[in-house]
Amino acid sequence: MSSSQEIRTQIASIQNTQKITKAMEMVAASKMKKAQDQMVKARPYADKILNVMSHLAHAHPEYESAFLHERDVKTKGYIVISSDRGLCGGLNNNLFKKVLDMVTKDKESNINSAFGLVGNKASSFFQRSGGEVIAQTSQLGDKPTVEQVLGLIKNVVDKFLQGEIDEVYLVFNKFINTVSQEPEVAKILPISIAEKNKEYDFYWDYLYEPDAKEVLDSLFTRYLESLIYRSIVENLACEQASRMVAMKAASDNATDLIAELQLIYNKNRQAAITQEISEIISGAAAL
């Protein structure tokens, strides 16, 4: 059995670790709240742009945008959204596993894959696992802005328009509630415009200024940006929630460990006292 001194140092060190995990848990909780607020704030824009897109589905533009053009799939693009930092449970790994599964399946049917990566974790994972990375960005911080990801989006979209990528999927964690997040894969390119609503089914079209191509293409670009921005914010909320849960588990484990060690320490101390007393008594009896 280890000496009392050793056990005492061990308890102290676990207590220090526990302090850190507790603090991280609380920080994550408050950051999660902020990320959720950001998620709510991003909603009106996404709703509005969807609204405009559905109006567009009823209009009859003469221009056929390349964004809507379906073609045979030879290369699939994935925009993978991950966190910058670790210590958030299996969040990133579950996501990457899902992507890898899809990529392996594609390989069997001779479809190549290309990646656009958001976050440090995705960068390091996909560099190790191989695959063509066409764009990456990281260090978005706790308050990501659309501006930070514009470069990445442009890269991927240009590749799609040039025909180097035939389909683009967005991969991120969906926020269900604080304790559960699910990896989600959504096809974002080519854009499929929502179902038609019978009510609007008479012939009309917008006036386009300056012309349909320019306006529609910039609308579609913004639509993609809003989708990606929203999923980044959602992924951030997931990251914080997942970190909070992981840190809570760590703090709880530390409490258990400390209780166990304390018990051993007390038993040790008790045994030492008992031994001392019996030595004194037997010494006295010998006199």
Partner 1 sequence: MSDKIRLEIVSAEQELFSKDVEMVYAPAEMGEVGVSPKHTPLITKLKPGDVRAQISKDEIETFYVSGGILEIQPSEVTILSDTALRGEDLDEARAIEAEKVAQEAMRNSSNEMDTQKAKSELLQAAAQLRLIKKLKGKVKNK
CB of 35 to partner 1, least distance (A): 13
154 binds partner 1 (CB under 8 A): no
CB of 193 to partner 1, least distance (A): 14
Identify any residues that bridge with 185 across adjacent strands, giving them in sequence order. Answer: 171
CB of 121 to partner 1, least distance (A): 24
Q: Are 144 and 163 in contact (CB under 8 A)?
A: no
Kindly list the strands in the beta sheet with 132-137, ordered across the sheet, starting from the edge strand earlier in the chain.
Answer: 132-137, 112-118, 75-81, 167-177, 180-189
Nearer to partner 1, 4 or 145 (CB): 145
Single residue of 222, 257, 261, 268 touching partner 1 by CB under 8 A: 222
Nearer to partner 1, 125 or 220 (CB): 220
Q: Give the number of other Cβ atoms within 10 Å of residue 171's Cβ.
A: 24
Distance CA 219, CA 232 (A): 20
48 binds partner 1 (CB under 8 A): yes
Q: Interacting stretch for partner 1, rule CB under 8 A, among 87-95, 105-113, 144-152, 186-194? A: 144-152
DSSP 79-148: EEE--SS--BTBHHHHHHHHHHHHHHHHHHTT-EEEEEEESHHHHHHHHHH--EEEEEE----SS--HHH
CB of 42 to partner 1, least distance (A): 6
Nearer to partner 1, 108 or 147 (CB): 147
145-150: Cβ within 8 A, 24+ apart: 146/225, 146/226, 146/229, 149/118, 149/225, 149/228, 149/229, 149/232, 150/225
Q: Are 31 and 142 in contact (CB under 8 A)?
A: yes
Q: Interacting stretch for partner 1, rule CB under 8 A, among 46-54, 87-95, 131-139, 180-188? A: 46-54
182 φ, ψ (degrees, to nearest 5): -130, 135
CB of 51 to partner 1, least distance (A): 7
283 binds partner 1 (CB under 8 A): no
218 binds partner 1 (CB under 8 A): yes
140 binds partner 1 (CB under 8 A): no
Single residue of 24, 49, 80, 170 touching partner 1 by CB under 8 A: 49
86, with CB counted inside 10 A (0-12, 13-18, 19+), is middle
145 binds partner 1 (CB under 8 A): yes
Nearer to partner 1, 22 or 58 (CB): 58
CB of 215 to partner 1, least distance (A): 5
Calculate the alpha carbon distances from 238 to 18, 31, 210, 243 in Å.
Answer: 23, 11, 41, 8
Nearer to partner 1, 59 or 258 (CB): 59
Single residue of 64, 132, 142, 205 touching partner 1 by CB under 8 A: 205
What does the binding site for partner 1 look like in residue numbers (CB under 8 A)?
38, 41-42, 44-45, 48-49, 51-52, 55-56, 59, 145-147, 204-210, 214-215, 218-219, 222, 225-226, 229
